[in-house]
Structure formats: structure tokens, C-alpha cells
Amino acid sequence: MTIRDIRSKLERLGDKKKAKILQGFFKTGLGEYGEGDIFLGVKVPDVRKLAKECQDISIKEANQLLKSLIHEERLLALLMLVHRFSKGNDPTRKSIYELYLKNTRFVNNWDLVDLSAGHIVGAFLMEKSRKPIYRLARSKYLWERRISIISTFHFIKHYEFSETLEIGEMLIDDEEDLIHKAVGWMLREVGKRDLQTEEKFLKKHYKKMPRTMLRYAIERFPEAKRQRYLKGTV
């Protein structure tokens, strides 16, 4: 299947009414975090299905799609890269990881980050130095900071929590709501596996955490305990 074929299929799957809804949902207006992003209105399950049909596409061709102005083309490219990474040998995985970090400007909305960062960046660094995600956490670019914390989801799944907690601490004063949500989400995932570790972090930081971050982190707590955290009476 050629790039032209893929683009034609995506276009046929698009829905103009859905595209308009998605452009609002993903904040594509002037000055918003997704400013200028273009949607075809393709449902995510349909993009996933197409990604499976395009499993033989080369990394170079996936990179072409990743640089598209169209959101669903970038999403498709990332899903294909995630698949290739999971099935690849060490050189292939290294190539995809390096390509990903060179092109973070195209991984530029929260769904794109969330569906790829842990599967590529986190997975690649699992047995390696974690320094690259700390560099991303210090980036001035919103999406690189989100990549840094979401990448740690892979470590969390292997019951390694230190990077999540350290990067979470680095991002506590971040000004972006999308970072607050991501950190809170990752803390909640830590808590699913080790509640004591999550609560140790929360008790140290909850009074100065952004409200959104705290709400995401304690979302699954029993209501009485959740209210104590919200009222600052833990």
C-alpha cells in the first residue's frame, strides 16, 4: 500500500461533521494548544484498523505521514511506528526511538503523546539510562514535557516508580493544565500498583499541587479520603 493509497483511505473514512467536533475538542483555535491542527473526522478504531492493514509500510514512509498537517495521518504514523517498534529487533527499535525524538514537534496533541510515548520512549529506555526523559521534562515545549511523564507509564507497568515520582515533582509547578492531568494520571497508575508509594508522594506535595493534578491522582480513592485531600486535612 502506497502513501497515496493510505491518504485516500483516510479521506474516505472521514466525516466533516465529526471533524468539526474534533477541531473543537482538541482545541485547534487561535492561541489554543492544538492551534491549526486539521482533522478529517476519522474514528480512532478506524485509524487503528488501517494501521493493521499497513503493517508492511517502511519506517521512512511512516515518517512522511508523521510530518503531515492532518491529525489522523500523524496518528496513523505513530500507531504504525508503535507496532514496528514492538515487533522490531534492537536496531529497528533504536531507529524508531531516535526518529520519534527528532520529530516531537509532530507529536503535538495529547492523544498522539498518550498513544505512543510509553510504547516507544519508555519501552526503549527500560533497560537504559533514563536521562533523556529528564531532559524532556525540562523542555520549554509542552508536548515534550508530556512525553516525559507519559513515557514513565512503561516503567510503572513494570513496578518501577522512581522516574514517575521524580518527574512528577519536577512538573508540579508547570503552568499547563495538560501537564497537571498527565502527572495526576501517572500518580494514579502508581497508586493502582502501590498505594503506599503514591500516598507518600501526595502527603509531601498535595497542598501545593495544582488542583487538577491532585484530582486526577486521587480519583479512585474512597470518597471520605478523597475529600480529606481536597480539604487539606490529611
Domain match, 58 and 167 both: no
The answer on 134 and 97 residing in a single domain is: no
The DSSP 8-state label assigned to residue 79 in this structure reads H
Helix (H, G, I), strand (E, B) or coil at 68: coil
Range of the domain at 204: 116-234
In the chain, what is the greatest distance between 2 CA atoms, to the nearest angstrom? 60
What was the pLDDT predicted at 55? Answer: 82
Look at residue 153 and tell me if it is in a domain.
yes
The CA-atom distances, in angstroms, between 47 and each of 41, 79, 126, 217, 227 are 10, 8, 28, 30, 40
Q: Residue 10: name the closest of 84, 71, 67 by CA.
A: 71
In a domain, 219, yes or no: yes
User: Quick one: 130 and 231 in the same domain?
Assistant: yes
Residue 233's pLDDT is 92
Q: Name the 3-class secondary structure at 148.
A: helix
Q: Does 137 map to a domain?
A: yes
Number of domains in the chain: 2
Q: If DSSP codes are grouped into helix, strand and coil, which group holds residue 70?
A: strand
- Tens of each residue's pLDDT in the chain, 234 residues: 889 999 999 999 999 999 999 999 999 999 999 999 999 999 999 999 999 998 888 999 999 999 999 999 999 999 999 999 999 999 999 999 999 999 999 999 999 999 999 999 999 999 999 999 999 999 999 999 999 999 999 999 999 999 999 999 999 999 999 999 999 999 999 999 999 999 999 999 999 999 999 999 999 999 999 999 999 999
